[in-house]
């Protein structure tokens, strides 16, 4: 390792030479002995270069790529961290496209071969000092193509990360909505149960009234326990795995001979919480059975749509009035009608089905309704689910 004691002219470019070959270093020192350039130091290894650069502060470093212990790629990366404004010109004896790319990514300003003309090396140093870049003509086209492709990949990855972040924010908002709704829905039945308990503990009620209150209290407590169970399942919507939707639908439909499951072929398995998926199917099928005559069928069609699996549950009920198409998804606020559906399609079940579906990046909507029946559509996102393999 050596440092030149020569005083510098204001216009000269300060150069440091890093190469493990003493003979080649000597050749470079001779080549760089010009009015515009001044060698202020030389090093045999990357480690020596890192130590020396902090003392002599060169404008440009001529960096050998292949050196023992620390190669030129790592040395360049660290030099740029120490001195971001320093120019680095890579030198090697081989036209290795991968090394060229790695050196440029590490921060090299230019790249020339060791057997290049002296003028090419001098031009590379001067361009690096001015903030420009020079590549050997024999390797420039390939490197540019590879860098262009690498930049395109990076842009795609950045875009994918941005989209993933937006999806994460959206899912967090949906979960917040779910938790807020659950808290609202629990407060009403808990208040009623407490009111009944306080009345029961009073001294004015007759034995018959006490018996009636006790029965009502037990009924409400049972309903509240069922409600909490449904909420616990909905809250766990993010705990997903590959789920066979057709298999789940058939299991839910099996107890009722009125329900027929009609699946398409070769459906992929989406990422879902299996318990939540089962609960959504139970709510939708139960809704269809309750609000259609006992001798009519319920049809569950499962097909693949655009970027989603589509589950349609069709009943033969009286239909939903136009003004009630969205209201049926709102949670009922009076505890007296919790779990007791008094309006066609209305109830906590549909509200939970939609909220849970949205928590898993899907949705539940009333697709169509009329005097001959209604069709509810559950869409299941396939954005993160691979397509099924075709049969061979």
CATH number of the structural domain spanning residue 82: 3.40.50.2300
Give the residue-averaged pLDDT of 332-355.
52
- Is residue 153 in some structural domain? no
Residue 362, CB-side half-sphere exposure with 13 Å CA sphere: 30
One domain for residues 123 and 163:
no
How many beta carbons lie within 10 A of that of residue 72, not counting itself? Answer: 29
Domain count, the chain: 2
Global pTM value: 0.43
Least confident stretch, 133-142, 148-157, 200-209, 292-301: 133-142
Bigger pLDDT: 73 vs 147: 73
d(CA 276, CA 260): 21
Question: Which pair of structure tokens corresponds to residue 174?
Answer: 């949906």
Give, in degrees to the nearest 5, the angle at Cα 380 between 288 and 157.
170
β-pair partners for 313: 300, 376
Burial of residue 22 (CB within 10 Å: 0-12, 13-18, 19+) is exposed
End-to-end, the C-alpha distance of the chain in Å comes to: 66
Closest CA to 123 of 138, 112, 114, 108: 112
Residues whose CB falls within 8 Å of the CB of residue 270, separated by 6 or more in sequence, listed in order? 242, 243, 245, 309, 380, 381, 382, 385
Residue-wise pLDDT tens digits, 263-281: 999 999 998 888 889 989 9
Phi, psi of 334 (to 5 degrees): -90, 125
One domain for residues 266 and 334:
yes
Largest CA distance in the chain: 115
One domain for residues 198 and 270:
yes
DSSP, res 310: E
One domain for residues 240 and 367:
yes
pLDDT at 358: 87
pLDDT at 113: 82
Q: Would you say residue 3 has pLDDT above 60?
A: no
Question: Quick check: 290 and 328 in contact, CB under 8 A?
Answer: no
For residue 294, the enclosing domain spans 159-381
Question: Quick check: 199 and 213 in contact, CB under 8 A?
Answer: yes
Least confident stretch, 49-53, 180-184, 338-342: 338-342
One domain for residues 166 and 276:
yes
Provide the 3-class DSSP secondary structure of residue 41.
strand
Bigger pLDDT: 163 vs 321: 321
pLDDT at 5: 44
Question: Quick check: 152 and 113 in contact, CB under 8 A?
Answer: no
One domain for residues 96 and 180:
no
Q: If you count DSSP H runs as helices and E runs as strands, how many of each does the chain have, helices first?
A: 10, 13
How big, in percent rounded to 5, are the helix, strand and coil portions of the chain? 50, 20, 30
One domain for residues 100 and 249:
no
Q: Of all helices (H) and strands (E), which one includes residue 309?
A: strand 308-314
Bigger pLDDT: 67 vs 99: 67
Residue-wise pLDDT tens digits, 56-95: 889 999 998 888 888 888 999 999 888 888 889 888 776 6
- Is residue 146 in some structural domain? no
One domain for residues 172 and 260:
yes
Cα 102 to chain centroid distance, Å, stands at 28
Burial of residue 205 (CB within 10 Å: 0-12, 13-18, 19+) is middle
DSSP, res 378: E
Cα 294 to chain centroid distance, Å, stands at 46
């Amino acid at each position: 390792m050596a440092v030149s004691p020569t005083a510098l002219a204001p216009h000269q470019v300060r150069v440091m030479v890093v190469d493990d070959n003493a003979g080649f270093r000597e050749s470079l020192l001779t080549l760089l002995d010009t009015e515009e350039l001044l060698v202020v130091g030389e090093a045999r290894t990357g480690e020596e270069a890192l130590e020396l650069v902090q003392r002599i502060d060169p404008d440009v470093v001529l960096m050998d790529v292949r050196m023992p212990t620390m190669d030129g790629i790592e040395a360049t990366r660290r030099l740029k961290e120490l001195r971001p404004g320093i120019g680095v010109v890579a030198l090697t004896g081989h036209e290795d496209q991968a090394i060229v790319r790695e050196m440029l990514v590490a921060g090299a300003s230019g790249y020339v071969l060791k057997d290049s003309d002296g003028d090419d090396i001098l031009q590379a140093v001067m361009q690096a000092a001015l903030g420009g870049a020079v590549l050997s003509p024999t390797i420039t086209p390939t490197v540019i193509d590879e860098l262009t492709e690498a930049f395109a990949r990076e842009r795609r990855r950045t875009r994918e990360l941005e989209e993933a972040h937006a999806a994460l924010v959206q899912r967090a908002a949906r979960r917040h909505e779910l938790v807020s709704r659950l808290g609202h829905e629990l407060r009403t039945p808990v208040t009623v149960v407490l009111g009944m308990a306080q009345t029961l503990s009073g001294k004015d009620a007759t034995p018959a009234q006490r018996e009636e209150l006790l029965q009502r209290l037990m009924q409400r407590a049972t309903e509240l326990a069922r409600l909490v169970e449904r909420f616990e399942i909905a809250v766990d919507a993010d705990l997903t795995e590959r789920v066979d939707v057709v298999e789940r639908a058939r299991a839910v439909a099996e107890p009722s001979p009125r329900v027929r499951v009609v699946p398409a072929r070769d459906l992929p398995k989406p990422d879902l919480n299996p318990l939540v998926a089962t609960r959504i199917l139970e709510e939708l099928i139960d809704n269809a059975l309750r609000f259609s005559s006992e001798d009519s069928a319920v049809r569950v069609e499962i097909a693949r749509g655009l970027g989603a699996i589509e589950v349609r549950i069709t009943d033969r009920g009286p239909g939903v009035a136009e003004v009630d198409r969205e209201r049926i998804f709102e949670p009922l606020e009076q505890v007296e009608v919790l779990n007791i559906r008094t309006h066609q399609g209305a109830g906590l079940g549909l509200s939970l089905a939609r909220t849970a579906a949205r928590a898993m990046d899907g949705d539940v909507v009333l697709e169509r309704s009329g005097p001959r029946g209604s069709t509810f559509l559950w869409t299941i996102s396939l954005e993160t689910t691979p397509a099924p393999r075709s049969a061979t």
